[in-house]
């Protein structure tokens, strides 16, 4: 009866025809926008030549099995990927895409801002990299010491960032390389869940980001969203709780566009943070390069 009432009022998740569910019509109206707030900021000190790179680590997994056994059709959130990427491009950085094994990037296509030509054009430009990304496993196996031109690692959000990445030994190696070589880590919304790979359940005192502040998507909202059909059931686990257990201080209680810069870790809480997060990341990397020069 309850599911029938939800369907009547547009609050039931939609069957994707492949064994999973996407958000309900009501959830899409509440949680997605047809146009982003990307503001086309120009960077007078932008780099020239495209030799400085940012490695974007994406998910290759589509389905999250919820606590009730129902599958949520997810991936990386397109706004959280592309709006920061556009700022990094404007600042002169080259973006390289990888997934854990080199399998295609999974994107939450239902969240694409269809009336935002700049974002949809960028998605189209990067489609070849999304279809044939680099393999993180191969990068790590070959050795990261030859990649000094990677100034930062960027892990976009979407619930897909919680799939495979937090348990990845290769991502653990990459994160430790980032910190050992004084690089920047950039991650937004659910992306910080992937940082758990650095310690993979070890002693919180050994976690590289123990004592750091972060802006992340609140667990409280993930607990609320099944009520209006964004998620088809309760989450299998809550990454904010796990980060707190590892000694992280989460600065936001709402998804209100908060960003946080703590040492060389830059985080943002949601798609609403993507524009400011992108600018913060671009300016921090430019300051790093120009300061070093």
Condensed to tens digits (0 to 9), the pLDDT of residues 217-272 reads: 999 999 999 999 999 999 999 999 999 999 999 999 999 999 999 999 999 999 99
CA dist 130 to 74, 126, 168, 192, 223, Å?
A: 15, 6, 20, 21, 30
Nearest to residue 55, comparing CAs of 196, 190, 156, 167?
156
- CA angle centred on 192, ends 160 and 199, rounded to 5°: 105
């269809």: which residue's tokens? 114
Q: Are strands 71-73 and 63-65 parallel, antiparallel or unpaired?
A: antiparallel
Condensed to tens digits (0 to 9), the pLDDT of residues 202-218 reads: 899 999 999 999 999 99
CATH code at 47-292: 3.40.50.880
């600042």: which residue's tokens? 91
The predicted pLDDT at position 1 comes to: 36
Predicted confidence band of residue 35 (pLDDT cuts 50, 70, 90) = very high
Residue 7 above 70 pLDDT? no
Condensed to tens digits (0 to 9), the pLDDT of residues 108-120 reads: 999 999 999 999 9
User: Per 3-state DSSP, what percentage of the chain is helix, strand, and coil (rounded to 5)?
Assistant: 40, 15, 45
Instruction: Report domain extents, the chain.
Output: 47-292
CA dist 123 to 130, 131, 248, Å?
A: 9, 11, 33
- Give the residue-averaged pLDDT of 262-286: 98
The predicted pLDDT at position 49 comes to: 78
Query: Tokens in use for 30?
Result: 């509440």
Q: Considering the entire predicted model, what is its pTM?
A: 0.96
Predicted confidence band of residue 123 (pLDDT cuts 50, 70, 90) = very high
Task: Tell me which DSSP letter residue 276 carries.
Answer: H
259 is catalytic: no
Q: Spot the catalytic one: 98, 189, 259, 260.
A: 189
Cα of 215 vs its chain's centroid, Å: 12
Task: Tell me which DSSP letter residue 211 carries.
Answer: T
| Residue 47 CB contacts under 8 Å (≥ 6 apart), including other chains | 91, 92, 93, 286, 289
């Amino acid at each position: 009866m309850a599911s029938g009432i939800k369907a009547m009022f547009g609050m039931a998740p939609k069957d994707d025809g492949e064994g999973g569910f996407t958000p309900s019509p009501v959830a899409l109206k509440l949680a997605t926008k047809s146009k982003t707030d990307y503001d086309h900021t120009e960077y007078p000190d932008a780099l020239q030549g495209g030799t400085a790179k940012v490695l974007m680590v994406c998910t290759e997994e589509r389905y999250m099995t919820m606590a009730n056994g129902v599958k949520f059709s997810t991936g990386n959130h397109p706004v959280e990927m592309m709006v920061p990427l556009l700022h990094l491009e404007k600042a002169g950085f080259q973006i390289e895409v990888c997934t854990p094994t080199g399998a295609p990037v999974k994107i939450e296509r239902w969240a694409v801002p269809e009336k935002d030509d700049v974002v949809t054009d960028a998605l189209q430009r990067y489609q070849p990299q999304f279809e044939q990304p680099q393999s993180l496993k191969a990068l790590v196996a070959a050795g990261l010491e030859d990649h000094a031109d990677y100034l930062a690692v960027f892990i976009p959000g979407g619930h897909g960032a919680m799939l495979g990445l937090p348990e990845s030994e290769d991502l653990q190696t990459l994160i430790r390389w980032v910190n050992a070589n004084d690089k920047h880590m950039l991650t937004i919304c659910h992306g910080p869940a992937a940082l758990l790979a650095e310690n993979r359940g070890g002693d919180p005192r050994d976690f590289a980001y123990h004592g750091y502040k972060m802006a992340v998507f609140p667990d409280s909202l993930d607990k609320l969203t099944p009520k209006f059909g964004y998620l088809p059931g309760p989450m299998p686990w809550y990454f904010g709780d796990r980060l707190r257990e590892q000694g992280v201080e989460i600065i936001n209680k709402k998804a209100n566009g908060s960003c946080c810069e703590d040492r060389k870790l830059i985080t943002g809480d949601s798609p609403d943070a993507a524009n400011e997060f992108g600018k913060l990341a671009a300016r921090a990397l430019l300051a790093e390069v120009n300061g070093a020069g």
